[in-house]
């Protein structure tokens, strides 16, 4: 009986410890951390590349009647205004003097940040 209890205890302990092991790269280091960044190559399309990133990471809090931090986003004009002021890139890159965004979530991947930077550096075209 003691031997059976020992085996059950060891099996339970191993299952418990293995359930606590957390090594998913995309969760630990952000999505696509080791993936080559192709989104920032060539001309970056606002509609096809920038909006999906902002929709996923920004618009949920920074749109509607009462946008968080009184920073409205969700239209080309509003997004361009944030980009022109330097707030968009400063916050997503976690630069000093800016509130790191998205708040309460993982930092955007290096590829996503590079894509937005490329759009900003190219003149923030509505394309």
Higher pLDDT, 13 or 62: 62
CA distance 41 to 27: 25
The count of structural domains within the chain is: 1
Domain for residue 25, yes or no?
no
Token pair 């190219």 is found at 122
Domain for residue 3, yes or no?
no
Domain that holds residue 79: 32-121
Domain for residue 14, yes or no?
no
Contact 37, 117 (CB under 8 A): no
Q: Tell me the pLDDT band of 40, cut-offs 50, 70 and 90.
A: low
Domain for residue 83, yes or no?
yes
Q: Tell me the pLDDT band of 23, cut-offs 50, 70 and 90.
A: very low
Our CA angle for 105, 46, 118, nearest 5°, is: 75
Given this model, what pLDDT does residue 92 score? 97
Domain for residue 60, yes or no?
yes
Token pair 């949920």 is found at 60
Q: Helix or strand or coil: residue 25?
A: helix
Token pair 């410890």 is found at 17
Q: Tell me the pLDDT band of 115, cut-offs 50, 70 and 90.
A: very high
Count of C-beta atoms within a 10 Å radius of residue 61: 17
Given this model, what pLDDT does residue 76 score? 98
Over residues 32-59, mean pLDDT: 83
pTM for this structure? Answer: 0.71
The percentage of residues in the chain with a pLDDT greater than 90, rounded to a whole number, is 65
Domain for residue 45, yes or no?
yes
Asked if residue 102 has a cis previous peptide bond (ω within 30° of 0), the answer is: yes
Higher pLDDT, 122 or 32: 122
pLDDT at 88 over 80: yes
Domain for residue 109, yes or no?
yes
Higher pLDDT, 108 or 16: 108
Domain for residue 22, yes or no?
no
């Amino acid at each position: 009986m003691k031997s059976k209890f020992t085996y059950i205890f060891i099996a339970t302990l191993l299952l418990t410890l293995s359930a606590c092991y957390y090594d998913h790269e995309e969760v630990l280091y952000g999505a696509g951390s080791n993936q080559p960044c192709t989104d920032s190559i060539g001309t970056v399309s606002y509609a096809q590349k920038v909006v999906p990133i902002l929709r996923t990471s920004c618009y949920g809090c920074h749109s509607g009647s009462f946008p968080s931090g009184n920073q409205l986003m969700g239209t080309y004009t509003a997004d361009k205004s944030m980009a022109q002021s330097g707030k968009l890139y400063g916050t997503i890159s976690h630069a000093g003097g800016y509130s790191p965004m998205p708040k309460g979530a993982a930092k955007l991947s290096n590829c996503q940040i590079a894509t937005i930077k490329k759009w900003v550096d190219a003149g923030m075209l509505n394309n």
